[in-house]
Each structure stands twice: as C-alpha cells, then as structure tokens.
Amino acid sequence: MTRIKVTAPVRIHTTIQLPSSKSISNRVLIINALGNGTFCPENLSDCDDTQVMIRALSSREETIDIMAAGTAMRFLTAYLAVTPGQRIITGTQRMQQRPIQVLVNALRELGAEIEYVANEGFPPLRITGSRLTKDSISLPGNVSSQYISALLMIAPMLHNGLTIKLTSDVISRPYIQLTLQLMKEFGAQAGWVDDHSLKVEPSPYRSVPFYVESDWSAASYWYQMTALAADAEVTLPGLFEASCQGDSRVAEIFRSLGVETCYGNKTVTLKKTGNAVKRLDYNFINQPDLAQTFVVTCALMNIPFRFSGLQSLKIKETDRMAALIKELGKLGYVLRESEGSILSWEGERCETPSDAAIDTYEDHRMAMAFAPACLVLPHIRINNPQVVSKSYPHYWEDLKLAGFTIEEE
C-alpha cells in the first residue's frame, strides 16, 4: 500500500490543463467504432477508463478485461451484442460485484445472446454478436443512465431502430442528453418523444472529425480548492460555457459556496468571493459524480447540508455513501444516511484518531475529493493515491504545479 501526505500552499494562483472529458471520450469511441470510424477522435482522455476502451475496441483477443472501468463494461456489453464474433468481457473483483442484470435483460429482450460466466446478474459475460430485430423496450428510468446510453448508442444499428420507454423517474438525465447530442453529431436521428420515451431511427452513423473538450467533473476539484483556500484564482482552459456535460452545473452550485466563474473563449477562471450560504440542500439526481466533492467541501466549510438523489452512489466504484461517512468520520464529521439516497450533516462532530489516513476504496473520486482538505487541515494523508489514474492521471502533478507539497510515506 502506498500513502502520501499532502500539504497546501498559502495561496493558489495557477492555470491548469484539465484532462479531456472521459464521458465524451468513451461515448465517441463507441459511436465512432459503430460508424466504422475513418476519422480518429482528437484530444481523447488519457485516463484509465478511456485507455481500456481504446484497447478493447482494437483488440482481437477472446477475453476483454476492462479492469475497474464501469463505463466501459456497460457500453462494451451493448457494443459487443451487435458486433460479429464471440467475446468474454470481465474486470476486477469489484467489477464482478457490480450489477449488470438490468442491461443484460434489456439486450436479451432485443434478441442479444449473452450468458453469465460465473454469478447470475454480474460480470464476466460471454457475448455472441447477433442481429437485433425487436424495436421497442421498457426499463426503469431510475437505473444507471449508462444502461440507457449503452442501448441508445447501438440503436441506429438495429434493423428497425429502437424506442425506449422509461417506466419511472429518470436519473442522471444530462448524461442521456449528452449521449443523444453526440449520436446526432455522428449522423444519428435520435431524441426524446416525451419525458419518458426515446426514439432512435435505423440510420447508420458516419465518421466525422471530432475534438473532445475538457472534463467538467475534473474541474469540480479546482472549484473545491478555490472555495476552501484563503486566496485563490484558477484558470481552466478547454472548458466550454455551452457544454453538454451534465457536470458543468458545478459552476452554478459552487456559486452558493463563494466561487465565481468567469467565462472566456473556451476557458473559465475561478475566483473566490467568500459569499457562501449558511446551509446547502441539493438534489444530485442529475450530477451524482459531484456528490463527493460537495460533501467534503461543505463539511470543511462548516456548512450543514442535505444532499438527495444519491441512490446510484451505492453501485459506483465503491459504496460511496458508506465510504464518505467512514472517511469524514476520521476528520471529525458525523454524517447520516437515510432512505438509501440521502446524505446529510447537521453540524455534529466527533473525536478524531490522531493523524488518520483517508482510504480510497479503489475509487478515484475519493482521493480527489479529500485531497483539498489540506487547505483547512495542517495536511491530509491519502492511501493508495494512484487510483486517480482512472479519470485524472496527472491530478497529483497538477497539485504540485499549483504549489501543493506531496510527500510519499
């Protein structure tokens, strides 16, 4: 096990080149491959999840190991279902505990040939590519949006297209919107019929030149640092104000915590205003990947909160709700979980172990959300910091560039 100790600078005035959007990169790779891509997308993310996707799409091996990449598991399961040949797709031990039955059932209903290699409802999967002819399907809207996106992206390849009816409230709707937008850029005819149904015509993709913008999810940690620092101004090139990334909402939410966003030409600059609310209640149903950032930030700013819409956090890289409760407990904050989807803090504190280290649970966002705590504490210790490679490989290097001190222990 590796461990680092992170100490903050007195002030943060820096320009940071964020990684490219993982969400866009992984979708574009699938769509481009289905369109027999003659153009290679530019500025693809260099994170683990995207590199896994690139290797999987170019590999001819019978077994595809996507490691801990949940997005790749969902998207490739659908992709392989419409691609000639038989393959096995597997991943880490944690990946083999993450449910995929809803997606598999939906694909089987459309005519896909998919078998569970070990445990029913979980990877690994044996997938035999076939021609899917059924043109409509129903599934719950409150499942992972990646299941819905996976089905949408293969829909133009189906003989009769596809209509998807969502039978309950839709979570993470911006990610579905992102998928639709990217599909259209590659020539698909796809969109919402009404609030709970989507329709995709059977028109093939065409490969087009495409440039991937920077990642708004990664930007959230620099917003967090700006909010927690005594003196901060951070410029982030490559972010678009009119972004179709759902996590671009981070700018609006952080305004409540005293961070102003100044938009330039394909760049943003973050400035600390110090005008923070006394309490923050928010429904993260559409931005679940931002939850850890805001939970840690609000606690350290001594701002009570009630965050709802977090049900998908339990099936991420780890049970993120349980992990947040345990690790913030090490810093002296007593969080409460309720209804399986709500996390709250009402100011309750507890004793802290001396010089505790934050565990990261093979979860990149745990490492990145807790590192900025050193701006409030004398320092923070992080176990297994290398997990950031999943989405932001040069995170620690960027912190050093901004003046943070990082020591291996």
CA 363 to chain centre: 11
Take residue 115 and report the two structure tokens written for it.
């078998």
Nearest to 335 by CA among 292, 375, 299, 386: 299
Question: How far is residue 226's CA from residue 369's CA, in Å, rounded to a whole number?
Answer: 13
Other CB atoms within a 10 A radius of the CB of residue 15 amount to 13
Take residue 129 and report the two structure tokens written for it.
């590519």
DSSP 131-191: -----EEEE-TTS-HHHHHHHHHHGGGSTT-EEEEE-SPPSSHHHHHHHHHHHHHTT--EE
Question: How far is residue 70's CA from residue 189's CA, in Å, rounded to a whole number?
Answer: 27
Question: How far is residue 152's CA from residue 48's CA, in Å, rounded to a whole number?
Answer: 24
Question: Does the bond joining 124 to the residue before it have cis omega, within 30 degrees of 0?
Answer: yes
169 is catalytic: no
Question: How far is residue 178's CA from residue 170's CA, in Å, rounded to a whole number?
Answer: 14
Other CB atoms within a 10 A radius of the CB of residue 121 amount to 12
Catalytic residue among 48, 215, 247, 289: 289
- Phi, psi (5° rounding) for residue 129? -60, 140
Angle of CA points 376, 330, 306, to nearest 5°: 75
SS3 52: helix
Which residues are annotated as catalytic? 289
